[in-house]
Amino acid sequence: MIYCSSLVSLRSYREVIISISAITVGEFEQFQKLIYEHAGIALAAGKKVMVASRLAKRLSHYGLSTYGDYFRLATNPAYPNEFQMLVNLLTTNETYFFREPKHFDFLRDEVLKTWRGDNFRVWSAASSTGEEAYSLAMTLAETLRDRKWEVFGSDLSTRVLESARNGVYSMDRLDQMDTNFLKKYCLQGVRSQQGSFRVDQKLRNRVSFDQVNLMKPIPSAIGKFDVIFLRNVLIYFDNDTKKEVVERLASSLKPDGYFVISHSETISRLTNHLVAIKPSIFKKTHK
Return the pLDDT at 190: 65
How far apart (Å, rounded) are the C-alpha atoms in residues 226 and 216? 21
Return the pLDDT at 246: 95
Residue 213: alpha-carbon gap to chain centroid? 11
Q: What is the CATH number of the domain that holds 174?
A: 3.40.50.150
Q: Is 155 one of the annotated active-site residues of the chain?
A: yes
Q: Domain range for residue 8?
A: 4-91
Q: Domain check: are 127 and 269 in the same one?
A: yes
Catalytic residue, chosen from 155, 173, 204, 231, is: 155
Return the pLDDT at 6: 36
Catalytic residue, chosen from 54, 108, 147, 165, is: 54
Q: Is 11 one of the annotated active-site residues of the chain?
A: no
Per residue in 67-87, pLDDT (tens digit) is 999 999 999 999 989 999 999
Return the pLDDT at 2: 35
Which pTM value belongs to this model?
Answer: 0.83
**pLDDT of 213 strictly over 60:** yes
Q: Domain check: are 81 and 138 in the same one?
A: no
Q: Domain check: are 87 and 106 in the same one?
A: no
**CA distances in angstroms from 202 to 138, 145, 206, listed in the order given:** 11, 12, 7
Q: CB-based burial of residue 82 (10 Å sphere; 0-12 exposed, 13-18 middle, 19+ buried)?
A: middle
Say which residues have a Cβ less than 8 Å from residue 99's Cβ, sequence separation at least 6.
131, 132, 135, 176, 231, 232
Q: What is the mean pLDDT of residues 218-247?
A: 93
Give a yes or no: residue 222 inside a domain.
yes
Q: Domain check: are 23 and 127 in the same one?
A: no
Q: What is the mean pLDDT of residues 108-137?
A: 96
Return the pLDDT at 287: 58
Counted domains in the chain: 2
